[in-house]
Structure 1
Amino acid sequence: MLEVIGLSSAAQTLYAALVERSPATLAELGHDTATAARLEELGLVTRLPGDPPRYVAVSPELALDVLIQARTQQLTEARHRIAQLAARFHRSAPEQDSANLVEVVMGRQAVSRRFERLQREARRQVRVFDAPPYATGAAGNAVEFELLARGVEYRVLYDRRAVEAPGTLATIIGYLGAGEQARVGEVPVKLVLSDHPMAILPLRHDEHAVESALVVHDSTLLGALSELFEMYWERAAPLHVRRGRLAEATGAAEARRDLLPLLAAGLSDTAIAAHLGWSDRTVRRHVRAMMTRLDAQTRFQAGYQVVMRGWLAEP
C-alpha cells in the first residue's frame, strides 16, 4: 500500500518489523543492509552505534507524514508542468486541428467503407439526405437494418428523384418496416450525419459524386450541416407503411391513403403510377378527386392542404 510514497515491499516489511521490535539488528530481523539503507535515507529509521549496528523505527506519524508531504509537493509540481504543456499544445493546436476537420476520401470503395464506418460509430442517431447516385450500388444499405435492430434511430429524407426511380419505393418500405423514419422532399446535397459526431458528403455534384467524398468531423461546419438537415426535414412530407405495404390500394379510402404521401411529396403522375401499380389515367382520376375534395386549384395546393390538415398522420 505504501508503494505510492516510495516504499518497496521489502522496505515496508522491515519498517513494520522495527515498529514492533526496536532496537534490533538486521540479522535478528532477517533483512539485508540495502533495505535498511533505503529506510535510513527516507528518514524512517535511525541506526545506533555498535557492531553489529542496531536500528530503531522513527514514529510513523512523523516519518510517513513527511514522505506524504514530499510526494504531494511532487504531484503539485507535476500538475504545474502539465498545465504548461497543455498551454503549449492549445497554442499550436488550431493549425493542427484545422487540417483534420475535413478529410478527402477518394475512390468508390473507400467512400462506401467510410459510409459504413460512420454508421457503425453512431451512438443513437443517423440522419441522411438520400439522393442518387449511390456508392453502395443496388444492394442498398444492409448496415441500416442491423443498427435499427440495435436501437439506432434513422431519419432519412429521400429526394424526389430517388423515390421516382422504379423499384426504389419497395426498398424504402423495407427500411420503414424495420423502423426508419422517412420523408420525401427537396434534398440540397447528399449527406449522412452521425451523432459520433461526423458527416460525409460528396466532394463533387455530378455523376462522379460517389467517387470522392468529404468527411467532416466535430466543428462549426458540422453544426451547420445539422441545422441544414433539420430545416429540410421539417419541410418534407412523411412516408408511412400500412400493413407492411405502401401500394396496392383496393378501395377508395385505401387509394387516398396510398396517394397522399406521394402527392404531398410532389411526385409526377407517371412516378405515382409506377409505384402504386396504377395506370396514368387512374392516377389522374384520383388526383382530380383529391383536388376537388380539398378545393385546390393546383397539385401544389393539394399537397399543401394534405400536410396542413394532418392527413398524412392518419392510419
Structure 2
Amino acid sequence: MLFDVLGLTEEEALTYRALLARPSCAPAELADEFGMQEPKALCMLGRLEQLGLAARSGEDTSRFVASPPAVAMGVFLAQRQNELRLAELELSSLEETYRASASGRTLADVVDVVQGASAMRQRFEQLQNGARREVLTFVKAPMLVVPPEENTAENVAVARGVTYRAVIERPHLEDNPALLAEIRDLTARGSQVRVVDSLPLKLFVVDRELALVPVADAASPADSGALMVHRSGLLDALIALFETTWASSHHIVAEAGCLREIEPGAVDEEDVQILSLLVAGLNDKAIATQLGTSLRTVQRRVHALLHLADAQTRLQLGWRAARLGWI
C-alpha cells in the first residue's frame, strides 16, 4: 500500500525491498535474484537512485545501497500530502464554480442524456466513487448497468461510511437466488434494504444532489441510456417518490438478533429469513430457492411459526408478527 501511494511500480517496489535486505547490491546480483537481464537490473537500480531510494556505495560505485526508508519515503509522503492539499483546494474551487453555474441552469440543462451501456456504467461508478453521505436506489430487473456481484464501487463506498438505502422489486428478489446473501452482507455493514411488489422505474440518487435514471430496453442493450438529473424540482420529485415508496415497503430481516422473540432461542436465523420473505410477498418455492433449502423445509418451518405466534392463517401470522414486534 505504501509503495502504491508513493507511485512506485511493482518492479521498483520489489527492487527496493531486495536492496533493503542486504548491505549493498550489484546489478548482476539483482538480475540473478529476479531472473532478468543485467542491463534491466542496472536500469531499475538507476531509477531508484533517481528517486532518492538508493545510492552508490562509497567503496565500490558499481554497487548500490538502499537509502533509509524513513528519510527517503518521508520526502515522498510530504510531497504527496502537499499535492493532495492543493488538489482539495482546486476541487473546492471547481465545486464553487459548478454550483454557481448550476443555479443558472435552464429547464433544458436540468437533465443530461447518457448514451450507451459503457457510458452508463462509467457514470454509475463515478457517482458511487464521489458519494459522501448516502445513496438511494430502486432495484429492478433487468440489470443492464452493473450486476450486484460486480459492483465493487458500492463496497468501497460503504467501507468509507456512505449509507445505502435500497428498495428491491419483489420479482427481482424471486428470480435471483443469490440476492438474499448479498442483502445479508449489506445489512451487516450498515445498509438498509426493503422489498416492494413493484417499482415504477430504476433510480439511483447520490447525496440528494444527482440522480441517474436508466431508460434502457432489455431487448436492445446496445441502445441503453440514462438520464442524469441535477438539482431541480424534478430531482426533488424523484427523492419524494423514493421516500414514499420506502415508507410503504417491507423491511428484510436477515438475522435473529433483529427480532424480539416470545421465547429465547425459539426462532433461529432461517426462521427469521422465512418470515421476512413471507411478509415481503414471496411464495414458499421462491423462499426455498433464496435460502437454498427444500420446499418441504420451508413449509414445515412456516407451520412452526404459525404455532409459535398462535396464528391460524398466514395472513394472521403476518399481523401477529407485527404486533409481537417480530418484524
TM-score by length of 1: 0.60
Gap change, CA 1:277 and 1:192, over 3 Å in 2: same
1:264 to 279, 301, 308: 279
For 1:206 and 1:184, the matched residues in 2 are separated by 22
Letter in 1 for 2:203: L
- State the partner residue of 1:286: 301
Q: Counterparts in 2 of 1:1-315, with a 5 A limit?
A: 97-134=106-143, 135-137=145-147, 139-164=149-174, 165-186=176-197, 187-195=199-207, 197-204=209-216, 207-208=219-220, 211-242=224-255, 253-254=267-268, 255-294=270-309, 299-312=314-327
Give, in angstroms, the shift of residue 174 of structure 1.
2.4
CA contact (8 A) 1:264 1:307 kept: no
* Structure 1 residue 198: Cα displacement: 0.8
How far the C-alpha of 1:194 sits from its partner, in A, is: 1.1
Over alpha carbons, which structure has the higher Rg?
Answer: 1
Contact 2:288 2:294 in 1 (8 A): yes
Contact conserved, 1:133 with 1:207, CA < 8 A, in 2? no
**For residues 224 and 182 of structure 1, do their structure 2 counterparts lie closer, same or farther at Cα, with a shift above 3 Å needed?**
same
Q: Is the 8 A contact 1:265 1:303 kept in 2?
A: no
Equivalent pairs, count: 216
Contact kept, 8 Å, 2:166 with 2:192, in 1: the verdict is yes
Contact 1:291 1:297 (8 Å CA) reproduced: yes
Secondary structure of the 2:267 match is helix
Counterpart AA for 1:278: T
Matched-pair identity in %: 40
SS at match of 2:131: coil
Q: Which whole-Å CA distance do the structure 1 matches of 2:131 and 2:244 have between them?
A: 21
Cα distance in structure 2, aligned partners of 1:304 and 1:201: 36
Q: Tell me how far 1:274 sits from its aligned partner.
A: 1.3
Instruction: Write the deviation string for residues 92-128 of structure 1: whole angstroms up to 9, x where unpaired.
Output: x87x521111112111111111111222232211011
Distance 2:306 2:220 in 1: 40
Q: Distance in 2 between matches of 1:257 and 1:284?
A: 14
C-alpha distance in structure 2 between counterparts of 1:305 and 1:140, whole Å: 39
Which digits, 9 at most, give the CA deviation of each residue in 1:209-236, with x for residues without a partner?
7811111111111111111111111222
Q: What amino acid does structure 1 have at the position aligned with 2:248?
A: R
RMSD: 3.1
> 1:217 is matched by which residue type in structure 2?
H
8 Å CA contact retained: 2:184, 2:254: yes
- Compute the TM-score of the two structures, normalised by the length of structure 2: 0.58
Superposition misfits of 4+ residues, deviation over 4 angstroms? 204-210, 292-298
Match of 2:88 in 1: none
Unaligned 5+ residue runs, structure 2? 1-99, 258-264
Identify unmatched segments of 5+ residues in structure 1: 1-88, 245-250
